[in-house]
Amino acid sequence: MKALGSSIFSRLVIIVPYVWLLLFFLIPFVIVFRISLSTTAIAQPPYEPVFSLADGLSGIIDNIRQLSFDNFVWLTEDALYFNAYLSSIKIAGISTLLTLLIAYPIAYGMAQAPRTWRPTLLMLVILPFWTSFLIRVYAWIAILKPEGLLNQSLLSIGVISEPLIILNTNWAIYIGIVYSYLPFMILPIYSALEKMDHSLIEAAQDLGCPPMTAFWKITFPLSLAGVVAGCMLVFIPAVGEFVIPDLLGGSQTLMIGKTLWNEFNSNRDWPVSAAVATVLLLILVVPIVFFQNMQAKADEKGR
Amino acid sequence: MKSLGNIRRSFAPWADPQSKPFISFRNITKKFGDFTAVDNLTLDIYHREFFALLGASGCGKSTLLRMLAGFERPTSGEIILDGQDIAAIPPYKRPVNMMFQSYALFPHMTVESNIGFGLRQDGMPKAEIAERVQQMLKLVKLEQFAKRKPQQLSGGQRQRVALARSLAKRPKVLLLDEPLGALDKKLREETQFELMDLQQQLGLTFVVVTHDQEEAMTMADRIAVMSHGKVVQVATPAEIYEAPNSRFVADFIGDVNILEGSVKAAGNGRVELSGGDFTVRAVSDAAPAIGTSAAFAIRPEKLKVSRTAPADPAVNTSEGEIWDIAYLGDMTVFHVKLPSGKVVKTSMLNAQREVENPIGYDEKVWVSFAETAGVVLRD
Ligand SMILES: Nc1ncnc2c1ncn2[C@@H]1O[C@H](COP(=O)(O)OP(=O)(O)OP(=O)(O)O)[C@@H](O)[C@H]1O
Ligand SMILES: [Mg+2]
């Protein structure tokens, strides 16, 4: 009886994440996808056809016939979308790289710190989350603008004679993304490094590795899982980021999040914005699935 | 292959005042905070010696090895390796390799690349590396596991990989921290002999840490018995066993009966102790003062149990009663209760398959031993 109870319990535990994904990922995605196959209409909601059980089976079949991939075709015809995707990926890629370069030494330092300090250091990394994301991004405007904090201090110590134009350029976006997503990169890398057995480094040194070589041959490969996780946690949301490019980037910044927002709010073109979102998802999910498959295969080979 | 016995028998550089030690620990102290892990220790190890460190858990064996490998700095004292003070040499430049107690295998590398790691580091040509790795795999009998990752191996297999990895570079000095602890008895005995062969063939110096005294006795030229960061005795296995210099060593190595008494006579290479169940008459160079208390240590196999009192009045004798019998196959262990209530342990080889009328429980017996059978220990 007890065994039965516990087996039901363990099944329930397994089901929970699937239910979650179904409710909050798959169903919304199906709805978005379905909207992307519709056409715009001046109506409420602003697209057609609208499915209704009242139409009966034949009505629904009729509605399904009206669905089409025209919006996806449209995305390929206007270069704007392609450029927006490309530029988003570029900006997100550069930001992810910068974040990694800054986060890795921080995570490494934290993992080397005395054990008693580590909880405090972790707290400090998470501390910025206690302030609203929006407020922190606005604060960057005050820092980066031509007469802002950064320029004033640089001018006053004489490093520069002209204010630097950072705000409303891609640099401001990089700074914003790096700053906002840094903890998401630090935490997985730290957790990978912290788990590492220090005697591995000693073993490498014992076998003739100077410290730097030991780092590249042992420490870094062993933290790779954390690096990959961190990069995904930064890259994926950064591609679709809207707030940071909108507030810090200039009007010429092309990012897919902004394009999507424009289609949705300014043009009220739900079907096209749904198509943009669907393609975005594909762009992000397909490489991840591919990557995971490769990793699983590599693991398999080691067996 | 030449028998080891002949080479070994003549190998005793420590007895030769001319020979220079290869490794010298000089007044080494290591403190962790205010805890002293190694306490003013001085120890010489000779070239091509198979040296074993034996001692209870936490007595500082690993710490000593780690100082030699360069992972810990002595708080004071110096370590001389091959005539050179190695304090300033970083671990990756020392001609010393260590097999870690925790194995420390690289989890992201296969068995093969683990073993070849040090060789690649030295820039050895690829073909040679492959050959050496194969040789090492064969030595530790892991040929068919070459492509596995460490986490896909059993504990004993991992230990063998660690051993192979530390051996691959053929360092001048190899430090082995509990190299065989996770192996089963049979494989362990095989590997012990293989290690000895290898050490002889390659002419390396081995320093082995072990908990297992039998292992130390089997492999080592000399054994250092450690306790609380100090070396208590350094000697050959036979000396350690037959002539322990203290109660601690006598007790730590093998089984021993300690007979307490006070010194009644001493001199001319003889000591007489009285008190307890025996009047111990022993041949001994120890010259304790008369009237002081002393102890006599005697191994179980040197105590004789018989039904009749020994005829020779010179031997040390006491009555007793069989208290417990343990049949171990190769020998039988008797626990004999002496008149004072003290129980001594004796062992008797089972030379014959069957003994007519064997000694049984509760029988009255005589326990005796020869004058040269044990050692007198001063307190
Ligand atoms: N880094 C350290 N910090 C504080 N104390 C330590 C440290 N390393 C070792 N010690 C202490 O030093 C003592 C000796 O440790 P060591 O590892 O040398 O023991 P050992 O003889 O190898 O024991 P075992 O047989 O269990 O491996 C132990 O009491 C241990 O707690
Ligand atoms: Mg140890």
SS3 readout for A11-60: HHHHHHHHHHHHHHHHHHHHHHHHHHCCEECCCCCCEECCCCHHHHHHHH
Confidence (pLDDT) at B3: 47
Q: What is the spatial distance between Cα B281 and Cα B272, in angstroms, rounded to a whole number? A: 5
Cite the beta strand spans of chain A per DSSP E: 39-40, 47-48
Pocket-forming residues, ligand 1, beta carbon under 6 Å: B 32, 35, 37, 55, 57-63, 101, 211
Residues above pLDDT 70, as percent of chain B: 97
The answer to whether the CB atoms of B108 and A221 lie below 8 A apart is yes
Q: Which band of pLDDT confidence, cut at 50, 70 and 90, is reported for residue B9?
A: low
The answer to whether the CB atoms of B100 and A203 lie below 8 A apart is yes
Q: What is the spatial distance between Cα B343 and Cα A223, in angstroms, rounded to a whole number? A: 60
Cβ pair B374, B299 in contact under 8 A: yes
Backbone angles phi, psi at B80, to 5 degrees: -110, 125
Cα B361–chain centre separation: 35
pTM: 0.81
Q: What tens digit of pLDDT does each residue of B164-190 get?
A: 999 999 999 999 998 888 888 888 888
Paired tokens of B281:
């008459």
What is the CATH superfamily name and number for domain B255-377? Nucleic acid-binding proteins (2.40.50.140)
Mutation to probe ligand 1, out of B25, B30, B32, B226 (largest number of atoms < 8 A from CB): B32
Q: Which chain B residue is nearest to residue A303, measuring alpha carbons?
A: B148
Q: What tens digit of pLDDT does each residue of B255-273 get?
A: 899 988 888 888 888 888 8
The answer to whether the CB atoms of B121 and A209 lie below 8 A apart is yes
Sort A63 into a burial class: Cβ within 10 Å, 0-12 / 13-18 / 19+. Answer: middle
Q: Which atom of ligand 1 has the smallest separation from the CA of B53?
A: 21
Owner of token pair 């307190």: B379
Q: Which atom of ligand 1 has the smallest separation from the CA of B63?
A: 18
Whether the per-residue pLDDT at B138 is higher than 70: the answer is: yes
Identify the CATH class of B6-248: alpha beta
Domain annotation for chain A: domains and CATH numbers = 79-259 (1.10.3720.10)
Whether the per-residue pLDDT at B314 is higher than 80: the answer is: no
The domain locations on chain B are 6-248, 255-377
Q: At CB < 8 Å, which residues of chain B contact A?
A: 69-71, 90-92, 96-98, 100, 102, 104-108, 110, 117-118, 121-122, 147-149, 152, 165-166, 169
Confidence (pLDDT) at B121: 93
Confidence (pLDDT) at A5: 66
Residues counted in chain B: 379
Q: Which atom of ligand 1 has the smallest separation from the CA of B72?
A: 1
The stretch B49-57 carries a mean pLDDT of: 93
Confidence (pLDDT) at B1: 40
Contacts of A214 in chain B (CB under 8 A): 92
Block means of pLDDT (10 residues each) for chain A, 303 residues, are 70 89 92 91 84 80 85 90 92 96 97 94 93 93 92 90 89 95 96 93 95 95 92 92 90 87 89 92 86 77 51
Confidence (pLDDT) at A3: 60
Confidence (pLDDT) at A303: 46
Confidence (pLDDT) at B8: 55
* Ligand 2 is an ion; residues with CB less than 5 A from it: B 62, 101
What is the Å distance from ligand 1's center to B75 Cα? 15
List strands edge to edge, sheet with B76-81: B35-45, B23-32, B76-81, B84-85
